[in-house]
Amino acid sequence: MSVYKLNMEQLRNWVGRLIAERPVYGVRQKDERFVFGRLKKPEELRLDYDVTILPPKKYILPTRENLLAYQPGEHYESLWADEPFVLLGVHPYDFVAIRQLDLLFEREKPDEHYLRRRRAATIIVADVERASDNVFAGCVGTAVVKDAFDGLLTRVEDGYLLEVRGEKGEWLASLLESPSPANAAELSRRNDVWENNRRRLRKHELKVPPEQLGDLLRRSVDHPLWEEKARLCYSCGSCNLVCPTCYCFDVRDESDWSLDKGVRYRVWDGCLLEDFAMVAGGHNFRPTRAARYRHRYYRKGLYVPEMIGELACVGCGRCITACTAGIANPVEVYNRLQEEPHEDDAAE
């Protein structure tokens, strides 16, 4: 582990060298919002952003990914994407989400398509400089990360501190021009940034300790909240599609007009969509909006934590912003389950 101090010119020159070496996907402004996109020059990079529309997971688990090409009969060819690239400016909560995806795609039957992209990625985290309107990462322990990244940028007064780790971090450091090690005072200021972010990234205050959410949900299966909120749900899946920890996908085949060849691909899918749980024969395991709406919160607070030991909500707040019906706020839902226990729950 090494930590360097970069002034703004050094940072700009370093980003320019990264761009010259390999594809770099960083945060750019789009109208009044921000998106991850390929950088063509350092001046496009915005590290002072609040939150991106879609999470950076889209470069490791693309919205559409070709898996194999096929021809009638037995001939097929797996399609791989493993060109090295850089993700630059990933907020801590989004990095925690990527690490969760790593655990999920590595377990039981490893997903080689995901893992090849993940191994190709060099991820540079950037501490939050400007809190978004709906972030609550400070409530779920994702406002700050201190390990597992390749690089970490933190704004301190007239420049940035860059911490690098591991083999990929050494490559990042090799592109620095006349790097200066950070001194004790600068490291202390970074600690101040971390403590401040833990306090201020709480636009919605979760009143339930995250480790108690599983028990709360086990007691709340029949809570009237699910039906009440679901009446307003459009089943549009917006909350799924902007979520950095959602990883469900649908696999489809697409044939050429000649029927001589085709491709198998996967696309993002979401549990709020009406046909998500549809199986052969037309049976739907979650045919009602209430069942689908409830499932989303159980996935975040119970099902995934049982698999990997971590809450599957990182507090980015994107779902709150994306939901035009105003029913997708996890903090509001969990707080209400805690504050208004169902009668049957109270009897237990």
Residue 118 CA to residue 99 CA, distance in Å, equals: 10
Strands in 145-248 per DSSP E? 151-156, 159-164, 180-181
Mean model confidence pLDDT for the chain: 94
Q: Residue 342: its pLDDT value, please?
A: 79
Q: Reading across the β-sheet that carries 180-181, which strands appear in turn?
A: 33-38, 24-30, 85-90, 121-126, 151-156, 159-164, 2-7, 180-181
Q: pLDDT tens for residues 152-179?
A: 999 998 899 999 999 999 999 999 998 8
Taking the CA atoms of 217, 139, 3 and 13 in sequence, report the sign of the dihedral they define.
positive
φ, ψ dihedrals at 220, nearest 5°: -120, 20
Say what percent of the chain tops pLDDT 70: 98
Q: Residue 1: its pLDDT value, please?
A: 80
Enumerate the β-bridge partners of residue 182: none
- Note whether 5 and 182 are within 8 A (CB): yes
Q: Residue 270: its pLDDT value, please?
A: 94
- Quickly state the pLDDT bin for 348 (edges 50, 70, 90): very low
Q: pLDDT tens for residues 114-153?
A: 999 999 999 999 999 999 999 999 999 999 999 999 999 9
- Return the percent helix, strand and coil in the chain, to nearest 5: 40, 20, 40
| Confidence check: pLDDT of 247 > 50 | yes
Rounded CA Rg of the chain:
22
Q: Angle between the 330-339 and 289-298 helix axes, to the nearest 10 degrees?
A: 90
| Confidence check: pLDDT of 345 > 80 | no
Sorted by sequence, the CB contacts under 8 Å of residue 211 that are 6+ apart come out as none
Q: Residue 343: its pLDDT value, please?
A: 60
Per domain, the residue ranges of the chain are: 2-200, 210-347
CA dist list (Å): 141 to 45, 209, 211, 239, 297: 27, 11, 11, 21, 18
| Confidence check: pLDDT of 19 > 80 | yes
Q: pLDDT tens for residues 279-313?
A: 888 888 898 999 999 999 999 999 999 999 999 99
Show the tokens assigned to 345.
Answer: 């729950």
